[in-house]
Amino acid sequence: MENKFIKIKETLLNEEEKTIVWANVQNSFENFFGSEVYSSWLKNITLLEEYNDYLVLGVPTRFFRDWIVSRYLDKILPQLKTFKNSINRVEFKISGERTINSGETFNVDDFNKVTEIKDSILNYNRLNPNLNFDNFVAGSSNEISLSSSKKVCEQISRYNPLYIYGGVGLGKTHLLNAIGLELEKKTNVMFISAERFMYHFIKSIKKNDMVNFKDFFRKSSVFIIDDIQFIRGKEGLQEEFFHTFNSLIDKNSQIVISADRAPLKLDRVQERIKSRLAGGLVVDIDIPDLDLKIKIIKKRLEDIQNQFKESSNISEEVINFVATESKTNIRELIGVLNRVVTFSRIHKKILTINDCKNILKDVFNQEKIITVDKIQNIVANFFNIPLVEMLSQRRSRPLARPRQIAMYLAKKMTTRSLPEIGRRFANRDHTTVIHAVKTITRLSEKDDEMKKNIEKLRNLLLEE
Ligand code: ADP
Ligand code: MG
């Protein structure tokens, strides 16, 4: 009986029953993830089959699949649900795969579609004209980074490399972009994220076109690379980066780098690279103080006023409230401010602090930090097993299930990557984590008890 039920559920839908227009989904991916991630990875996904509750998606290679699954899948699903709420999982198929000598696989169509590196990079090398020095607000947390960035623009290769580091949303990309805009006026500038650099690196290997790749990156006079921490643990990429770096320095090109941490703190990066990165000028951006937050808010309000030609209804009191409550970073601060302004414009209302509290309820409540440690403790407690046992290599069911549940929750409730989660579970491989996530996802769809337990654990974690 149950089998039959599953059969019916899994029937491939007829053309007229299908509801998903893939182009629309892709649009939403692009909006949600940004054009960089979209065109590097998600654009390559095709819709192969549509079922009532799941989709079969095509990806060009295994590499793509693993990459997408480990980094974006948990955000792709909710996006898909907005198009069809009954979707609760996706399957990936590697489409048009064929084997080449090295045993690696790649997709024939993909291969033919690859444009010259040059063209595709030029498309991505576009600087954002809105992220310039004029609209970067100075404060005590960023003034050294700002003045160093300006100095680099005055005299190329005096500080080489310039290395700017700091937490997310504090203005690193903005500064890098501003440097690019400034120097673009006098010389040729290459601006790329480390992730995008890797993407081209891999494409070039597959295309057997490393010569072009090397040439292309080594000829810029100003090479700006964002989020270099991305190279951690990626040996091949580090090797390539090291040589690119050296040949640029040799010809006196300016290098500007951003990262989320200081050079010497880049674990799983070769020592020789770390010392090169630390060898120029290293500056950091700190969390903004109240004064800077207020200045940024006022500047944004001014811009909005100019844009919409109407005065904003945001009182000093509300400005202070937003600046005080938003503690994490400037990106969040701007997001919060946008919500408040939008609300006030739609309702044509001068907001009170209470209105703001209501509008921002979910934003400020999200601040609860859930760590892998916490998840492990709570799950072990919940199932009444010792934590060490849960993390041990023993495979008996009473230990293995809770372990899988903890991995699943770590994936769903923290921003840790699969390999990072694996390491926290007594150095397990990321494939073990993928397996755990799949198993628990599947079980919680079928098994009511599992579903309830997951729900309870989630609540416990959020309550803490
Ligand atoms: P990061 O690269 O460090 O994660 P971003 O450069 O993307 O951060 O900055 C996040 C957002 O905050 C962007 O919209 C950026 O324009 C804005 N921002 C950051 N710092 C400032 C600043 N000092 N003045 C104005 N806007 C800022
Ligand atoms: Mg950034």
pLDDT in tens, 221-258: 999 999 999 999 899 999 999 999 999 999 999 999 99
If you take atom 14 of ligand 1, which residue's CA is the nearest one?
A: 331
Instruction: Write the Ramachandran bin of 330: left for phi over 0, alpha for psi from -120 to 50, otherwise beta.
Output: alpha
**172 C-alpha to ligand 2 centroid (Å):** 5
Residue by residue, DSSP assigns 215-229 as HHHHT-SEEEEE-GG
User: How far from the centroid of its chain's Cα atoms is residue 334's Cα?
Assistant: 18
Q: Which of 173, 174, 181, 286 to mutate to test the pocket of ligand 1 (most atoms within 8 A of CB)?
A: 174
Ligand closest to CA 169:
1
426: closest CA among 374, 376, 369, 383?
Answer: 376
Q: What per-residue confidence (pLDDT) applies to 430?
A: 94
Give the position of tokens 């337990």: 453
Ligand closest to CA 230:
2
**227 C-alpha to ligand 2 centroid (Å):** 6
- pLDDT one-digit tens code per residue, 378-418: 999 999 999 999 999 999 999 999 999 999 999 998 888 99
If you take atom 18 of ligand 1, which residue's CA is the nearest one?
A: 171
Ligand closest to CA 228:
2
If you take atom 23 of ligand 1, which residue's CA is the nearest one?
A: 137
- Confidence band, pLDDT 50/70/90 cuts, at residue 110: very low
Task: Enumerate the H helices of 72-142 as residue ranges.
Answer: 73-83, 108-113, 117-124
Q: CA distances (Å), 216 to each of 118, 212, 244, 248, 254, in order?
A: 7, 6, 10, 11, 16
Ligand closest to CA 174:
1
**74 C-alpha to ligand 1 centroid (Å):** 25
Alpha-carbon span 88 to 82, nearest angstrom: 11
Q: Which residues line ligand 1 (CB under 6 A)?
A: 131, 135-137, 142, 166, 168-174, 296, 330-331, 334
With a cut of 50, say whether residue 310 has pLDDT above it: yes
Q: What per-residue confidence (pLDDT) applies to 339?
A: 86
- pLDDT one-digit tens code per residue, 27-38: 889 888 888 788
User: Can you give the pTM of this predicted structure?
Assistant: 0.61
With a cut of 60, say whether residue 274 has pLDDT above it: yes
Task: Enumerate the H helices of 347-429 as residue ranges.
Answer: 353-359, 361-365, 372-382, 387-391, 397-413, 418-424
**258 C-alpha to ligand 1 centroid (Å):** 13
If you average pLDDT over residues 122-149, what whole number do you get? 88
With a cut of 70, say whether residue 305 has pLDDT above it: yes
Ligand closest to CA 171:
1
Q: Which of 147, 170, 332 to mutate to test the pocket of ligand 1 (most atoms within 8 A of CB)?
A: 170
If you average pLDDT over residues 280-306, what whole number do you get? 94
With a cut of 80, say whether residue 119 has pLDDT above it: no
Q: What per-residue confidence (pLDDT) applies to 45?
A: 92
What is the number of residues in the chain? 464
Residues of the chain above pLDDT 70, percent: 89
- Confidence band, pLDDT 50/70/90 cuts, at residue 357: confident
Alpha-carbon span 425 to 48, nearest angstrom: 35
Peptide bond before 386: cis, by omega within 30 degrees of 0? no
**224 C-alpha to ligand 1 centroid (Å):** 17
**136 C-alpha to ligand 1 centroid (Å):** 8
**334 C-alpha to ligand 2 centroid (Å):** 15
- Confidence band, pLDDT 50/70/90 cuts, at residue 166: very high
- Confidence band, pLDDT 50/70/90 cuts, at residue 461: confident
What is the number of the ligand 1 atom nearest to the C-alpha of 177?
Answer: 6
- Look over the chain and give the mean of its residue pLDDT values, rounded to a whole number: 85
Phi–psi pair at 234, nearest 5 degrees: -110, 90
Q: What per-residue confidence (pLDDT) applies to 344?
A: 87
Alpha-carbon span 403 to 437, nearest angstrom: 11
What is the number of the ligand 1 atom nearest to the C-alpha of 227?
Answer: 2
